[in-house]
Amino acid sequence: MTAVTTLTLPAAVHGTSAPTTPAAPAARRATPAPAPVYTVSLARDEADLRASQRLRHQVFAEELGAVLDTPLPGFDVDPFDDFCDHLLVRDESTGEVVGTYRLLRPAQAARAGRLYSDSEFDLSNLAGIRGDLVEVGRSCIAAEHRGNGAVINLMWGGIARYLTEAGNTWIAGCCSVPLSDGGGTAAGVWDAMAARHLAPAEYRVRPHRPWDPSGIVRPARTTVPALLRGYLRLGAWVCGEPAYDADFGVSDLYVLLSLKRTDPRYLRHFLAAGQPAPTGPAGPAA
C-alpha cells in the first residue's frame, strides 16, 4: 500500500496544454480539438499506485528496454514504493495516468533504512542535510503526452507544493541519460555539467560504479534532457561524475537542489501551477 501523507496537495490541480492545430482559412475553419486537460494529485490507494507502476513499466521496460526486477509482470514494482508518496498526472478525458513521480520524505527514508540513490552513490557528504531532503525518482511521462510541456509543469508544481507544505528545503535524485546512442549524448551532457553546474566540494558524491565517458565521440551539439534542464533552471547542482546503471542502460547524474537557491520567479510559477483551478475539486490528498 502506498504511503499516506497529510499534506494538503489538492486532490485535483488542473492544467491545460495550448492547442497545436493550425488555423484554417475562414471559409473552411473547423472547430479545433479541445486542448488536453490534466490534473495532478498524490496517489490515494492501491489502484492509484498500480496505475503509476503500470506507466513506469510501459516507459522504462517496454519503450526504453530497462531490465526490471519486478514480482508483478507488466508493472514496475519496487521495494521503495511502499515508503514513498506517488505524484500522478491524469488526462481528464480518459482518467488515464500519463505522468508520475516518486517522492521519499526524510522520515520515510529513515524507515526504509536508506535512500534509493545510496545503491548508486556514496552520499556520505550529504549526511548533514538528509534530515531535510526529499528524494525524487522514477519520473516518466507517457510518450503521447510529452510534447506540450503541460504534464511536466504540473509535476513540478505538485513537487514545489509538496516541499513547501512539508517544510523541506532540499530535493535530490538521479537524472538519467540513455546510452543507446553509444554514449555520445551522455558524454556531452557530462562535459556541460562539469564545466558549469558542479556542486561545491562539500556536496560532492561518488558513484559506486562510475560511467567513464573518456574516448567517446561527442555529438556536434548536445541536447540536455528536459528534466535536467528544469532542475538547472531552478538552480540545481550536479554532484559529481555519473554512475552506470546497467539495468536501465543509462548514465545517472546525481542532482541536488535547495529551494533557497531557486529563483523566486520560477518558484512562484511552479507554486501557481500547483494551485487548484477555481472550479476544480479541492481537498487533502493521501
Q: Which amino acid is residue 120, in one-letter code? A: E
pLDDT in tens, 246-265: 999 999 999 999 988 887 77
User: Domain limits of the chain?
Assistant: 35-273
For residue 211, is pLDDT > 90? yes
Rounded to an integer, the average pLDDT of 47-75 is: 95
Give the mean pLDDT of 112-137. Answer: 97
47 CB burial (10 A radius; 0-12, 13-18, 19+) = exposed
Q: Which of 115, 110, 116 is nearest to 76 (CA)?
A: 116
CA distance 245 to 247: 6
Give 87's strand partners.
42, 101
Q: Which triple of cell numbers denotes residue 227?
A: 528534466
Percent of the chain with pLDDT over 90: 68
Q: What is the mean pLDDT of the chain?
A: 85
The kind and range of the H/E element at 48 are helix 46-56
pLDDT on residue 51: 98
For residue range 80-99, list pLDDT tens digits in order: 999 999 999 999 999 999 99
Confidence of residue 1 (pLDDT cuts 50, 70, 90): very low
Q: How many helices (H) and strands (E) does the chain have?
A: 6, 11
For residues 163 and 143, give the distance between their C-alpha atoms in angstroms, rounded to a whole number.
Answer: 27
First vs last C-alpha separation in the chain = 12
Buried/exposed 5-32: b ≥16 CB within 10 Å, e otherwise: bebebbbbbbbebeeeeeeeeeeeeeee
Confidence of residue 6 (pLDDT cuts 50, 70, 90): very low
Question: Is the pLDDT confidence value at 25 over 70?
Answer: no
For 281, the grid coordinates are: 475539486
Q: Is the pLDDT of residue 276 over 90?
A: no
State the average pLDDT over residues 104-132: 97
Question: In whole angstroms, what is the distance from residue 259 CA to residue 77 CA?
Answer: 30
Pairing state of beta strands 96-104 and 121-122?
unpaired
**What is 35-273's CATH topology?**
Aminopeptidase (3.40.630)
What local confidence, expressed as pLDDT, does residue 179 receive? 95
